[in-house]
Amino acid sequence: MKRFSLAIPHFYSLLLNQDPEKDGEIIDRLEKALRQFVAVLDQSGPYCMGGRELTLADVHCAPFLHRFSIALPYWRGYDFLQVDHRLARLLMALESVPEFQADTLSAAEYIQAYSHYAHAGITVAGRGVFAGRGRSGPSHSNL
């Protein structure tokens, strides 16, 4: 959980970043933190501690992995699941848990929910319209 917690600020930093030229350095920090997390994952999988039982570590990382696997490709054109195949394997296992599925928003709802971050809360005065960076990056999903 400590290792995964090192990545959380970088997820938000990338999404909040309004200067595309700084994306690379933020991505480098995020990938370093994710590699440190992956290094302590049990190799037998599919969950953080291996086996077929969820642990607190899985519950801790599941919402962040899920939400940012949608938000970052859409808003910044960046897919952190490519850092290591074990991240995608872990997320797939977590997303298949019925309780997780029952309490999860649609991709479109997460994109909308994270739009405030993607624009860093910058709005056009008096119009309620976002004016920040918004959607940018090397590629975009079709969500």
109 touches 58 (CB < 8 A): no
81 touches 67 (CB < 8 A): no
The CA distance from 12 to 23, in Å, is 12
In sequence order, the 6+-apart residues with CB closer than 8 A to the CB of 86 are 38, 41, 45
Give the per-residue pLDDT at 136: 80
Q: Is 119 contained in some domain?
A: yes
Q: Is 39 contained in some domain?
A: yes
List pLDDT tens digits, range 81-104.
999 999 999 999 999 999 999 989
Chain mean pLDDT for the chain:
92
CATH code, domain with 94: 1.20.1050.10
In sequence order, the 6+-apart residues with CB closer than 8 A to the CB of 121 are 132
Tell me how many domains the chain contains. 1
Q: How many residues does the structure list for the chain? A: 143
46: helix, strand or coil: strand
| Angle value at C-alpha 124, between 119 and 128, nearest 5 degrees | 85
Q: Is 138 contained in some domain?
A: no
Question: For residue 113, what are the domain limits?
Answer: 2-130
List pLDDT tens digits, range 49-82.
998 899 999 999 999 999 999 999 999 999 999 9
Residues facing 130 on adjacent strands: 123
HSE of 113, CA atoms in CB hemisphere, 13 A: 11
